[in-house]
Structure 1
Amino acid sequence: MRIIDARTSVHALDLRLPLTNTPAGDSTRVICELETDDGFVGVGMSARFLPHAIASAVTNHLVQAIKGMDPRDLEAIHARLEPIVSERGRMSGINLAALACVDLACWDIIGQASGRSVAQLLGGHKTYADAYVTYGFPVYDPDQLVELGRQLMAKGHTRLKMLVGVAKGGLLEDAMRVKYVREALGDTLILALDGNENPSLEYATQLCRLVEDYNIAWFEDPIRNNDARDLAMLRKRTTIPLSAGQMDGHSRQFREWIEHDALDIFMPNSMYNGGMTETRRVAHLAQIYNRPLSDAGGGGIYCLHHVAGFRNGTLVECHLGVEQLEQAIFTDAPEPIDGRVHVPERPGFGVTLNRDVLKDTLIRPE
């Protein structure tokens, strides 16, 4: 089996939030289709940042370097690609996103060739992952948060996540929104927060003190830039578990967080950290340090497999925008049922691209 060709493309979809019909965000995807000489085509993906730069890097640099290689030889492929992506020092940003596109496509091919899902290749702990819903966007007022929360709970969801650090009224409004949702939706709801790396250490500390008594399941990306020293300081100041890793979740970053005793929950995203090969490293690090493994950042179908595959996997994210995107861009994306998402039974990542949608959403570089 040899890699013979690749196609990359950038797509933007019109995603809308329920109740308000406002843009949902996270609507751009870079797709890499890697083809082998025996007819397998693996699909890798990244998103959001400088998408045409990612696509160009994949097409003009990374794929050219691995043509003729066996996609199953992941260590050899990464040994070939990593010096191209970053000559020295720590890799980050779009170079890891480009690497992720290629790596995920390789995993898809490996799964197809072996007749197994990627979750099974990673260990096959479960055939499903329990889900939480990212829903508490700043566009919603408190009453809308409650209304939408009740709609989601009626569908079987028991875990919801709210964004904080974005309220127009600042700290007190942020805390009020959290309290309002908790009191309206009840104590049985598992409620989490996400700062998207926006709050300062002082803001995050004060917010934790204001909402600690409302049984917060975790606080994701609570500090600006997820600085390891600040995360460690916040962790000592609060009983709320801290999580991170969706945008900067490569293994060396997690090692730094562990060295500072700064993190409770590992949340890598294979679309941004270099791919499933890197997520596997992170998962093993999480196991060594007895940390749960979850998902954040709109990883969708890809992150579902690592959460289901490893025995320390816990929750997969259902993002209101990303869920719409995957239902459109794939013909057979799994949907949450009673708060649980099942791994597709087909091998690899188990989904099929919708060619009509890809055609209609294609964005060419200017």
Structure 2
Amino acid sequence: MSTPVNLDTIRRAPKVLLHDHLDGGLRPQTVIELAQRIGYHDLPYTTPTELGKWFVASADSGALERYLETFVHTVAVMQTREALVRVAAECAEDLADDGVVYAEVRYAPELFQEGGLSLDEVVQAVQDGFRDGERRAAEAGNRIRVGTLLCAMRQNARATEIARLAVRYRDTEVVGFDIAGPEAGYPPTRNLDAFEYLRQQNAHFTIHAGEAFGLPSIWEAIQHCGAERLGHGVRIVDDIAAPGDGGPELGRLASYIRDRRIPLEMCPSSNVQTGAAESIAAHPIGRLADLRFRVTLNTDNRLMSDCTMSSEFAELHEAFGYGWADLRWLTVNAMKSAFIGFDERLDVINNVLKPGYAQLVP
């Protein structure tokens, strides 16, 4: 008899996370303590409960630009080595406590230099924090491996510099590169030099595309820049005929993405907050999964969306009736799409994911 699917049992299932922002996942208490330590007085609330509620309410704006404004406070308190180590360590612990066994967590090093840290010092601090968090999680009986994606902010002009940084640290669990920030007005093609450099170096990269902007952003990310994965990619549904129009007619871009098995890093709760989807039940993830795109499930920003991987899975169970087979499929999709070696991915799939789900579905 299968274990019932609910939030508590989902937390026991091994999970894989590919799209999670370090500066979007702080504990409210940590934000407050770090702010007090550096004399930052601009927080709207100084109690964890009220501050956590404020982040979620402010992110529920229906616009990506307003959503991004909430990061002013988290970034402000992450300008020292001590803060970066602590935030990264707690991130690893929190994910592991939720049953995540492999995670790729991203951040933009250029945002954390206001206190005088060099780019290298920022990366070294975060990597040290992740290793500390992995060790503490293991001591608590929760094993996790965390890889890092370095982001360049698409509205700035430092993409090639950050791409070189990612390559320089790729032997220390920096597994890839990304561009983030507002899509409208800042197409991926602004950063072609960075992507060309990464391809020359045989380095991995994903691109935020198809979240707040439509098909042109996705097309550029794939065809001009060569993205291996799409951050969000939710607007690819615009290239698929609506139900009732004679069946699921896939346009050429949608067909290409499905045929090439290009992973979609989908973040339902975040997409509802930014207006990319009206609700979880209306989120394109359901249709794209039915059409067997390479769909993966992710958190995006756990603080702003008040979510975990387990709660995101529970939302899909409630909205679409997903059972263990569906949750396992999404999880294996993510592990297949990770930016680590093939043998390493296969080891996690065969020796962690499959046995873990077998315990839930005898």
| TM-score for the superposition, normalised by structure 2 | 0.49
